[in-house]
A and B are shown apart, each in its own frame.
Chain A
């Protein structure tokens, strides 16, 4: 029998020695994963500061914010932001968080680091493409950041860049000249980077699994990264054309998205017959799958981590994988539910409403299986486990409001209110970030060779968990009371009565944001002073725990791993209550 495993390992590229090759333009998937993580970390703090600025202005609109006038003398004269500058910050907050944090951290960062190791490979399929995809992402990030410093400031058209506002240029308002150009080019570049990354993830999963690593034996987070990469491949391949057409409308005088007869600043725009709705269709065809690009890796991370700390196998592992596939498939059939109030044909709204409600079925199955795994378990309440439980909580809280918004008749009333802000922050942003926190506490020992401080991790969890509920729960109430979103200040009688709620949310946001400094301190302190981590500190089963912490350059020190079991063998009888994937030990019948 031809046995390839017996052949010596030949790594695709040798270990680098120079500083630039080792730490900057590295081909090593582990370094690239850390680079993505660092970029996401910087971005999340920028995004968080932007949200603080917006929240401060919403609660106390006349207060001057120190140093804000230094960032933009026009947008914030004497430190008090103009309504337009509020929209600029809103745009940048959403864009930075969705693209550079929620896409990068759970998918690109952890996926790059752990997908090859979990499937027993030495690196990604195409290491050079991998390096290119990170540095292309970094170029996109620089272009986006540059929008803060151009004369007209960042764009005011929101992270969704709705046309015609985003397409017509500087006549329509601040930030819509060079700022919007930079936004569109940055996102187009980001699309290219994401396509390269998705191509690499798919090829790696299909071709580089080690002996015995059948698809059914892949860890759940590897499954999630694989499904996410398929979604990302098809979604970013649609956003890129949308950005190309937008750039052409803005710079070459075409009329894809700009309708005829548009007069702005007393000037008739030289365009004819374009369709603003076309932009929305293209954008949301990407935009809804993007929600799952953000959340599916975190679902996979939680499904991997939770059994480790519950010391029980994940309930219904095939149903978990199947539900993730179903969510990925259905994500392409529901984009119109973002457009119920766009002027789209009302019959179309019903067509999009049905699959939106259907998508709650696999999501509910997933949630119940995660809860069922915890039921009756002797949990080890580590910081990672707490964030997994927190994930389930916020995923349910955000998911339930989705039932209401999926129905056009209710969404018509709620769409432009804070109810939607509460919904998507819970189900997409906070849930995804909780997955990232869980992943960080869980994999930090493997990535650095040192343990994070558990007491600080638990303090971080409780402050964050209570904090996000204090921020986003009241927003449901605001939405039901008719408080519109995207406004920089509330001057109507009914809205003035709601300002105390906004003040409460602002204080909660400031405190919850400050609590993230505990995480940052823990991350940096533990990197240098944390206790030394063993090879498998959590007694977990997957392949990354069969190699040293941190792993050697080729992941397994020249060894080829052979896999005998699935990743779900916890709670077995014997001297230890788990069986590693690399163990030939027979799994007892339960």
Chain B
């Protein structure tokens, strides 16, 4: 039986591949083994997660639109002002994340920070990562204040469909954001292990997720402003 396999360490080039037609896909940059590189897998995984989370919130959005239209019992109320401040905080966290990215882009090759200068760059990048996580926590604190403000007005989860959806949207977004903060700590741990090589640390995947959390929140805020 004619089969072709590559033993470990075997050298082949695309020209040596026989007459059965060459492999159609060329290896992509970053592929280390047949199992793909860490960066590509995690980024693909996060993009897929972004699709699922988008669908998740789209289902809640259409539920809200249907529920609001089906019965005239929708109570409009003023959104707590702290939410606008916390929105700015969250947008600020995206900026600090980009500052971190710029620092990591300066780390040479795949070896990481072997020189004192490179170590300083990585250290600054990690500093901005900490700031990003802290701003994320500050946003969640802002949401806690917003929920407290609503409770003070007598608006609980079951008070009215509008308050129900308010809590559902904001709590579920906060849970996703807390997941992102856990991701930030994971990336920081990986950065330490890899001497600051962002590509090997899941930084790219984390930044996609974090920016998506920002965009998702802006969308939810607009929805709440328009519908409440």
Residues of chain A whose beta carbon lies under 8 Å from any beta carbon of chain B: 1-12, 120-123, 125-126, 195, 198-200, 202-203, 206-214, 216-217, 233-234, 237-238, 240-242, 244-245, 248, 252-256, 259-260, 272-275, 277-278, 281-282, 285, 536, 546, 556, 558-565, 576, 579-580, 582-587
Q: Check A207 against B6 for contact (C-beta < 8 Å).
A: no
Q: Tell me, yes or no, whether B117 is within 8 Å of chain A by CB.
A: no
In the bound complex, what is the Cα–Cα distance between A278 and B60 (angstroms)? Answer: 11
Q: Check A203 against B45 for contact (C-beta < 8 Å).
A: yes
Residue of B nearest to A578 (CB): B1
Residues of B contacting A10 with CB < 8 Å? 32-33, 35
Query: If A199-B49, A275-B66, A584-B19 touch, does A242 touch B35 (CB 8 Å cutoff)?
Result: no
In the bound complex, what is the Cα–Cα distance between A587 and B59 (angstroms)? Answer: 49
Q: Tell me, yes or no, whether B168 is within 8 Å of chain A by CB.
A: yes
Interface of B is mostly: loop
Q: Check B35 against A564 for contact (C-beta < 8 Å).
A: no
10 closest A-B pairs by beta carbon, nearest first, are: A212-B23, A584-B18, A273-B71, A253-B158, A564-B20, A237-B55, A214-B24, A8-B8, A559-B5, A241-B59
In the bound complex, what is the Cα–Cα distance between A579 and B161 (angstroms)? Answer: 62
Q: Check B13 against A248 for contact (C-beta < 8 Å).
A: no
Q: Check A202 against B44 for contact (C-beta < 8 Å).
A: yes
Q: Tell me, yes or no, whether B211 is within 8 Å of chain A by CB.
A: no
Residues of B contacting A584 with CB < 8 Å? 2, 4, 17-20
Q: Which of B1, B7, B13, B20 has the most CB of A within 10 A?
A: B20
In the bound complex, what is the Cα–Cα distance between A561 and B6 (angstroms)? Answer: 6
Q: Check A254 against B25 for contact (C-beta < 8 Å).
A: no
Query: If A9-B33, A12-B35, A216-B24 touch, does A237 touch B53 (CB 8 Å cutoff)?
Result: yes
How close is B222's CB to chain A, nearest CB, in angstroms? 19
In the bound complex, what is the Cα–Cα distance between A299 and B36 (angstroms)? Answer: 29
Residues of A contacting B36 with CB < 8 Å? 121, 125, 207-208
**New A-B pairs, 14, CB < 8 Å, besides A242-B59, A584-B20:** A6-B12, A10-B32, A216-B24, A240-B56, A272-B71, A273-B73, A274-B67, A561-B4, A584-B19, A585-B2, A585-B18, A585-B19, A586-B18, A587-B20
Residue of A nearest to B25 (CB): A214
Residues of B contacting A7 with CB < 8 Å? 9, 32-33
How close is B15's CB to chain A, nearest CB, in angstroms? 8
Query: If A10-B32, A199-B49 touch, does A256 touch B20 (CB 8 Å cutoff)?
Result: no
- List 27 A-B residue pairs with CB atoms under 8 Å apart, sorted by A's residue number: A4-B32, A121-B35, A123-B35, A199-B49, A203-B48, A208-B36, A211-B25, A212-B25, A233-B52, A237-B53, A237-B59, A240-B56, A241-B56, A248-B157, A254-B164, A255-B164, A273-B161, A274-B67, A275-B70, A278-B70, A556-B5, A560-B5, A562-B17, A579-B2, A583-B2, A586-B18, A586-B20
Q: Check A122 against B33 for contact (C-beta < 8 Å).
A: yes
In the bound complex, what is the Cα–Cα distance between A214 and B7 (angstroms)? Answer: 21
In the bound complex, what is the Cα–Cα distance between A565 and B2 (angstroms)? Answer: 12
